[in-house]
Amino acid sequence: MRLQRLAWLLSSCLLFLGACRKPEAAAELSMQPPVVLISIDTLRSDHLPAYGYNEVSTPAIDALAADGIVFQRAFSQVPLTLPSHASIMTGLLPAHDGVRDNAGFVLDPKTPTIASILKAQGYATGAAVSAYVLRASSNVGTGFDLYDDQIPFIEGAPTGNLARPGTETVAIMKRWIGEHASVPFFAFVHLFEPHAPYEPTYDAEIAKADTEVGELIASLRSSGRYDDALIILLSDHGEGLGQHGEQEHGVLLYREALQVPLIVKLPRSERKGTRVAEAVQLVDVLPTIAALTGAPAAETDGHSLAGAIGAHPIFSETLYPRIHLGWSELRSVIDYPHHLIDGPKPELYDLSRDSFETQDLRETDRRAYAKLRSVAATAPAAVVTAPRIDPEEAKKLAALGYVSAQPGTAHSDLNPREHLPDLQKLKEVTLLMRQREFADAAKSMEDLLARNPGWSDLRNNLGFAYEQLGDLPAAERTYREAIRTTPELAPDFALLLAGVLVARGALDDAEAHARLALRTNPNGAHEVLARVALARNDLGTALQEAELGHADFLAAQVLLGRRDPERALAVLQRIYDTSQKQKTQLPRGFFIVTGDTFMALGRTAEARQAFERAVALHPDDRVARERLQRLEK
């Protein structure tokens, strides 16, 4: 169901619930106001003071809310970062823009986006994102002149947790805005806080994000563009926080995962301090921006909020349980105040009376249930088919011997909420892995897989555990089985498998698998291809691939191999400084390479210290022990 926004009429007196515009204000709008879109990842609206919460201080967001319009009931289309941002940028439901999950999906670059629409109107367009899942290869950045996604790929780390601090992202956009302050511009800023893991708490991460928003707003004021800017602050989705058994997001569709902040500051702060109670949704953002900038109409699933706001059903979905866990997908429809969550065991809630969704009304309010079931039947792709595999990708999989490479996520009747205890078991496994109890962790994961054979993420962790145990054949077997079981995620698993194959010396096979990921994960693919070239002693290609993949650690190894230890040390120092600043784990083998670099420079004492740190971190590392023993002779 795609709905065109209403035609833009400067003479219209309908703007945000019927507010009449002065002629001079309409003229200002025709002059192309700056547009700033701020997305704060994983932010529940009910954890902001602007929405009545008192356990955190957010002065910057509070000030923006005071200058703008607060939509009290705004909802996301999907509780996952990439598909939600795709819906924001296109105004389309996931079933229409084709992006259904963080992994295995990319936006069709021909799909109109906010950026491409405004660029066609003469706007400069710039963006900086803080999460790896929003990398440019997802095409969610279509239409941007600048799309800064320089977030290092770390082999073996979950791509959903690869991020950079919002302070770095904001600094990039402050510079860009300063350079374009004299022209119409569209700036998109994505902050990863307060996404897990929280440091130290969810609310503390919200306070960090608020500080970053304050820095951005201050730069707009200093450039003289704040007053005439259209600023929209939102989140892509919420966070479970254990409310219905889910700590984070992606699996369930309760209000806490779907309801998000939406604050709109109009040019000259018109309608400041307004609060809107009608239910709205993130696909409304594109048509609203188009209306307020005079851009051409775009065909969307949303409705411009620059006019009378009517009642429209809000459709949401999550395929994450099916793709990643082998459970049933879930869909939901909100026809406020009622919320239907449709799955193996449908649930119905009245959000006006039961905002925490504790009383299922399916049996007691049959009329409301029947009504929402009929509304849900009008949703696009209500019966979701398995994700499509790119034909070229399918050919590559077949050439590698995966002859049954068809989508493995057939319909399942396993109700996600009823299987959440297994997710809790996974938390215990995660703790074991943090404690480096990889053998016990692997056994527990094998047991979980026996109960949940479609749990692709579990195979990811299991393969990593086998790698840490040095059981490379078991790791290879696990990743190959993952490709066969979930071929729609083949590029991700092929990349993991390629890393194991490099370690096993199967370089041709490793290269072929790495190339499977070039389209969806180019940084990771280039990083592994650099390792392949390094193993072949092709140092020129290795350095080129490392630079393409922003793989600094590999670049340092290549520079050392090319007898350029001074440049290698400079790169290693940069990696170490970034790790300390961002509190991220250093690559395995970092201190061995650092020790080798110091040795090449003749700095023996510092080399010994580096090898000692390598042994302390990984007592079972034979190479580190040999390096240290050689020095002590």
Alpha-carbon distance of 345 to 380, in angstroms, equals 21
Alpha-carbon distance of 593 to 575, in angstroms, equals 12
Alpha-carbon distance of 584 to 586, in angstroms, equals 6
How, if at all, do strands 338-342 and 347-350 pair?
antiparallel
Give the relative orientation of helices 438-451 and 456-468 as an angle to the nearest 10 degrees.
160
Q: Going by C-beta distance under 8 Å and a sequence separation of 6 or more, which residues neighbour residue 552?
A: 152, 546, 571, 574, 575
pLDDT over threshold 90, residue 516: no
Residue with tokens 């799309």: 147
pLDDT at 240: 94
pLDDT at 117: 96
Residue ranges of the chain that CATH labels 3.40.720.10: 32-290
Structure token digits, residue 462: 């299991």
Residue ranges of the chain that CATH labels 1.25.40.10: 386-519
Q: What is the pLDDT of residues 461-508, one digit of tens each?
A: 999 999 989 999 999 999 999 888 887 788 889 999 999 999 999 999
Average pLDDT, the chain: 87
pLDDT over threshold 50, residue 17: no
pLDDT over threshold 80, residue 400: no
Secondary structure (DSSP) of 106-127: ---TTS--HHHHHHHTT-EEEE
Amino acid at 5: R
pLDDT at 199: 86
pLDDT over threshold 60, residue 579: yes
- Cβ atoms of 189 and 115 within 8 Å: the answer is no
Helix/strand/coil for 535: helix
Alpha-carbon distance of 578 to 549, in angstroms, equals 17
pLDDT at 153: 63
Secondary structure (DSSP) of 249-266: SSS--SHHHHEEEEEEEP
Q: What is the pLDDT of residues 408-460, one digit of tens each?
A: 445 678 899 888 888 888 888 888 988 889 999 999 999 999 888 888 888 98
Q: Which CATH class is domain 32-290?
A: alpha beta
Question: Which CATH architecture fits 386-519?
Answer: Alpha Horseshoe (1.25)
Could you tell me the pTM of the whole model?
0.74
pLDDT over threshold 60, residue 581: yes
Band of pLDDT at residue 161, cut at 50, 70 and 90: low
Over residues 266-285, mean pLDDT: 92
pLDDT at 266: 95
CA 84 to chain centre: 9
Over residues 168-190, mean pLDDT: 95
Q: What is the pLDDT of residues 210-264, one digit of tens each?
A: 999 999 999 999 999 999 999 999 999 999 998 998 989 999 999 999 999 999 9
Beta bridge partners of 163: 131
N-term to C-term CA, the chain: 75
Amino acid at 23: P
